[in-house]
Amino acid sequence: MSSKNKNSKINVAVVGLGYWGPNLLRNFSDIKDFKVLYGCDLVSKNLEKFSAIYPSVIFTNNFDGIIKDKNVDLVVIATPLSTHFKLAEKALKAKKHVLIEKPMTQKSKEAVKLVKLARQNNKILMVGYTFVYSEPVKKIYEILKNNYIGQIYYYDSTRINLGLIQNDVNVIWDLACHDFSIINYLFNKRLKSIQAFGSKFVNKKNEEIAHVIINAEDNFTAHINVSWLSPVKIRTILIGGSKKMIAFDDISPNEKIRIYNKSVDIKPSQITPFKPAYRSGDVVIPYLEQNESLKNELMHLAFCIKNNKKPITNGEEGLKIVKMLEAANLSLKVRKAISLNL
């Protein structure tokens, strides 16, 4: 990876100004390490809308023109999944750093090609798994690293809301991939198998509700519940350990993490399995910085580009998650657990 002069700005082109692109434009414009040179979209209404807000940015529908511009250091891809591979491939071949929104590609063989291209051209390839850079997840990482909750038993996630129903992917690709990235970041465990159960109701094309079970070494299990058809929005993660348990509620305005001093203990000499000893103690609510996750992610990217470092959610990590998503899709089809070879 080629490093960037630490005092010079990183020139950015944001491609795709629909759902997520405006957040990227805003954050890149706010961070002193970056300068947004281009905004790109095929919808002329989007170009008109943002050219009024960002007068110093060139808005265009010409992607090829952008990647031919030698001044562009970083191409950011926030377009539909089906376009990710071709756009990222062109950008990497033009020797640009690439930030690509999640999921990385439709197929793992495409992800493999992008990882190789980035390596060959000495460029950073990063995938936008924003939750990994959120303050609550960073705090949970610290807690687990210090072995504060003891042996980890399980990860239990509920990620449900009404919409946005996607046309090109199922709910696992849209929502559960966030949990895959969090699990890979938090737990240094070999994942052994994945099993998915899903239902289609609205358009009969892609699953709108799904449950995913991941089995890993050390008897660790992850359960993930995702839905586009819930009347309420819930974003919770529970992590159970032998000493303590963590609850993360992403919707909570100011108490996103609670650490419960609770556990279950069975001592055969004193208690039967039907009468376990339940231990309950204090609840700790740790202090969290009030930083936007996307801003944290982009500042991490700036640091990596300027210091020749590999991002946490690098291309290899993106590839691993695409493999997990493919295995989940296969499990839906054959209705059994699929072995993971990551």
Domain edges within the chain: 10-123, 132-290+324-339
The pLDDT of residue 145 is 95
Residue with tokens 């281009």: 38
Cα separation, 29 vs 56, whole angstroms: 10
The pLDDT of residue 122 is 96
The pLDDT of residue 274 is 60
CB contact at 8 A, 261 and 249: no
pLDDT digits (tens, 9 = 90+) for 82-110: 999 999 999 999 999 999 999 999 999 99
pLDDT digits (tens, 9 = 90+) for 300-341: 999 999 999 999 999 999 999 999 999 999 999 999 999 999
CA 199, 175, 146, 136 dihedral sign is: negative
Residues of the chain with pLDDT under 70: 1-6, 266-279
The pLDDT of residue 130 is 98
The pLDDT of residue 288 is 95
Beta-carbon contacts of 26 under 8 Å, excluding residues fewer than 6 positions away, are none
The pLDDT of residue 151 is 94
DSSP code per residue over 251-265? T-SS--EEEEEEEEE
The pLDDT of residue 277 is 61
Residue type, 198: G
The pLDDT of residue 164 is 83
The pLDDT of residue 234 is 98
Residue ranges with strand state E in the chain? 10-15, 34-40, 58-60, 74-77, 97-101, 125-128, 152-162, 191-199, 209-216, 221-227, 229-241, 245-249, 257-265, 277-284, 338-339
CB contact at 8 A, 182 and 236: no
How many CB atoms are located within 10 Å of the residue 128 CB? 24
DSSP code per residue over 200-233? --SSSSS-SEEEEEEEEGGG-EEEEEEESEEEEE
Element (H, E) at 143: helix 135-145
The pLDDT of residue 142 is 97
Strands lying side by side in the sheet with 229-241: 277-284, 257-265, 245-249, 229-241, 152-162, 221-227, 209-216, 191-199, 338-339
The pLDDT of residue 266 is 63
Cα separation, 205 vs 232, whole angstroms: 23
DSSP assignment letter at 34: E
Of 162, 164, 149, 137, nearest to 249 by C-alpha is 137
> What is the topology classification, in CATH, of domain 10-123?
Rossmann fold (3.40.50)
The pLDDT of residue 270 is 60
Q: Which CATH class is domain 132-290+324-339?
A: alpha beta
Residue with tokens 């640009």: 96
What is the three-class DSSP state of 105?
coil
CB contact at 8 A, 81 and 19: no
